Amino acid sequence: MKYAVLDFETTGSGMTDEVIQAGLVIVEDGKITKRFSSYINPTVEIPPFITQLTGITEDMVKDAPPLDEVLLHMIPLLDDAVLVAHHAAFDVSFLQRSLEQCGYLPFSGRVLDTLDLLRILFPSMPSLQLSMVCKEMNIHHDRPHQADSDAEVTALIWIRCLEKLEDLSLLTTQRISALFEDDSSDLSWFMQENRFRKELHISSDEQSGNYHRQFELNVGEWPEETSAREDDPDPALKGIAFEEFYKDLKARLQGGLKQYEDRSAQEQMIHEVYDSLEDDKHLLIEAGTGTGKSLGYLIPSLYYAIRREKKIIVSTHTINLQEQLRERDLPLLEHIFPVDFRASVLKGRSHYLCLRKFEHKINGSDFESPKEDVITAAQMIVWLSETMHGDEEEIHFGNKGSDFWHSVSSDADSCLNRSCPWFRRCFYHRARHEANIADVVITNHSLLFTDVKADHRILPSYDHLVVDEAHHFEEVAGKHMGMNVNYFSLVNPMLILLKDSRSGQIPHLRNELEQLDDDKSSEWMSIIDDVIPKIISAKEHWDKLTELLYELTTATASQDPGQGETGQMVYRLKTDVLPAEWDTLAGIENNLYIELSDALKKLDKIISEVKEHEDSDISQLGVDMNSTVRDLLGLRDDIRMFMKLSDPGYVYWLEANSYYKGKSLSLMAVPADVSGKLREHFFEPKHSVILTSATLSVDKSFQYAAEQLGLDTMTESGRVRTKLLASPFNYRKQALVCIPRDFPGVRGPGGETKFTDMLADSLRDVALQTRGRMLVLFTSYRMLKLVHGKLKEQLGSQGIQVLGQGIDSGNRSKLTRMFQDSSGAVLLGTSSFWEGVDIPGSALTCLVIVRLPFQPPNHPLVEAKSEMLQRQNKNPFMKLSVPQAVIRFKQGFGRLVRTGQDKGIVIIYDTRVLDTYYGKHFLYSLPGPRIEHMRLEQLVPRIRDWQETGE
């Protein structure tokens, strides 16, 4: 088959834009056989931003042939070819328009998009951006955004896709082809052709692989429980003291790791963690950036778990860190550890695929969004033949992929357990099984608290816990011990039950029952007919309730000029001053409660009987409906709890967004103080809890963290130890902090406008000196947008790209990649960029902190915590606001220096660090950089001097 791989560079994407360069590569029999490329002289000027993006200038096209001459060379190459492009809709639209404009017949051949094939065949590909795909496939891309280069690499990517198609098993190929059978698209034709060709050359008995119920898997049945050291009757490491063990392990590390370097802070951490585990003590330990804290707690944890035959749980805040431990740290330790050990990763149940649900969905072609869902299903069929874990994190979905995943993810209420035909291959039960036999289990804070709410039925029993990223522990505790119900929380499960008269679990069940034609089925259908109007009525009550609650929120927000800069509005509810219309709202909620309760009670009765039905389709529907009904029962109770404001220890508030009105509404309820619960569930019953982070201390003290976590009352008894470990980096030489002391504040009439104007001008001057490579951290999205507009205009002409969070992309990972891929860029970020962004090396040499990261004092949770402190005769600003901001400030500062070789400048435009009595707490918490303040006019010369001399 002949493929013509096409790429155009154009003056833009509008109807009046023109092609300025064409690239065409012919692929035949899996090889490139011809190439054609040419600049094209357009009749319009090339905009500056296109020149900046592509490098194509007016001089480069002025002597180029016109469009019709170029097409004359291209048309014969397109003859009898399947057209292939990356984002094909764009290139094909310009091709057809160009052909029509020049009087040629339109292209009438088949069109395939590499995006579709990449999604299906490489389901774990983290990004489908052309340069990122090249990076993943180790394809050299020397001139991105030039048509000849883009067409060349797209052709190489297409060849990889053809090779991957060839490698798929016959069964997987047939499964994918079957998904597209009712589709008339070119992609469907291509998949059918591929299946026909493969069936001619491969018989099913030639295929070797792991197959179950007509699916290819990469895993077999999980085995019976066995210990990692079952052949050794004596406890491993028996008689080997920790010092002796660590000395041997360190020698193995030095021998097995070329880049290994001694880190005294890491050694201290290893011993502190081991001593605390051995002595049954809790430990608060701050380990600065570069300490290597993952190994700092894994090494002693594994030794203790193996030696004492105890299980240790390690909990992280982010899934990313869980994956890092699994992919990087644990394999290293497996390589150097003197004895075998088992370490497992366990996530929340919804992170795992339910194979029974997936099989049912594929076999029944149960697709809500046919085009998107078919590609997602094909993607997952390929992924099933590759995955060992069945974990959502491994697969990168398209637009509606997360909705598809939700319909096939594992959940407790629809699980058949040992009755399920997939049980011995179930990914979730495999992960649970592996956790039960592991020495160390890596989980996350979210699952840790879910386990508490489930009476410890999820995680294996444990007495020793390591909490990484512990500065988030109290916040996650509040979220999990509280509730958050948004508009779609209730609507989505309702739509799963009943989308319309033909769609949803209820109509599906009714249709199945109608085929049976017996008395019991008639009885069930009668109940269903009674339930349907009740669910419709409940949905109407919910719509009305959320609409009125939204109006209540907007009315309050309109009186507060500080709210709404991002369209986000917040309204706190207090039992002693409820709004006048609350009784009306409570009445609507009561109607919702009654209608929903009645419907769910009747459905529950049907489900309990239907689940035992001999027809497997009917019984499976009953099982899946059970899960939906349980979700709705829980949501019904959460809404009741919120409207009653029944627990005085909770803070209740509404959140909404002006862009989506009532559909954006969220009902929030969180305990104001979780310290008692943390003591009850963790610090009192557990033998040892290790809490670590790069940012736990304030002013070199752990008092704030101890108070928030409930450890302050246990410190005097000697059960809690603390340790502050400095970073091994030489911040005095690696980081210069500059504070322009005459920079204006934001207060007073016109203060914010003046501040923003001067900030934009100063950032421009600094960016020109540093050639971009700058991350600017904001606390206000409104200010970010204003500065972005000014900087983009001023720096664009200088070849410095300006990227704004929520403007150029809302995806933090994508923005970070764009920043790193650019030779010089300025990245403006808000909340999520203060933490968890890792940009080592020369891509980032200047970090800017625009304002100190104080939380809004009128946020309901901050307000409630402040009121609680006031009742205790404590100063909320110094006991809560300042410590919170200091920890956030330290997180932000930590974005600059990520390795021992990184070097750069930090600029703080908030002069409160110099002018106020609390400013010293921020500077004193930094890890020893050089700190200088100067007049604004001296800022750029000082940066230039630092860059040139390092002094």
Tell me the binding residues for ATP. 287-294
The H-or-E segment that residue 137 falls in is helix 130-137
Distance CA 73, CA 313 (A): 66
The H-or-E segment that residue 150 falls in is helix 147-167
Q: How many residues does the chain have?
A: 951
Return the structure tokens found at 231.
């052949």
Return the structure tokens found at 323.
């994956």
Distance CA 325, CA 343 (A): 10
**Do strands 650-657 and 774-777 pair parallel, antiparallel, or not at all (unpaired)?**
unpaired
Alpha helices in 415-569 (DSSP H): 427-436, 445-453, 473-481, 487-497, 505-514, 519-557
Q: Which residue has the tokens 């917040």?
A: 570
Alpha carbon dihedral 696, 702, 708, 710, in 10-degree steps, equals 120
Return the structure tokens found at 292.
């290597």
User: In the 3-class helix/strand/coil scheme, how is 264-293 assigned residue by residue?
Assistant: HHHHHHHHHHHHHHHCCCEEEEEECCCCCH
Cα-based distances in Å from 474 to 144, 477, 678, 914: 46, 5, 8, 30
Return the structure tokens found at 630.
């349980």
Q: What's the N-to-C CA distance of the chain in angstroms?
A: 63
Neighbour-count burial of 416, counting CB atoms closer than 10 A to its CB (0-12 exposed, 13-18 middle, 19+ buried): middle
Which CB contacts under 8 angstroms, 24+ apart, belong to 680-683? 681/452, 682/465, 683/282, 683/709, 683/710, 683/711, 683/714, 683/719
Distance CA 665, CA 486 (A): 6
Sign of the dihedral defined by the CA atoms of residues 501, 502, 507, 512, in that order = positive
* Binding site listing: 287-294
Contacts of 378 (CB under 8 A, 6+ apart): 120, 176, 179, 180, 191
Which CB contacts under 8 angstroms, 24+ apart, belong to 494-497? 494/535, 494/538, 494/539, 494/632, 496/407, 496/628, 497/535, 497/603, 497/625, 497/628, 497/629, 497/632
- 360 with 213: CB under 8 angstroms? no
Distance CA 876, CA 865 (A): 8
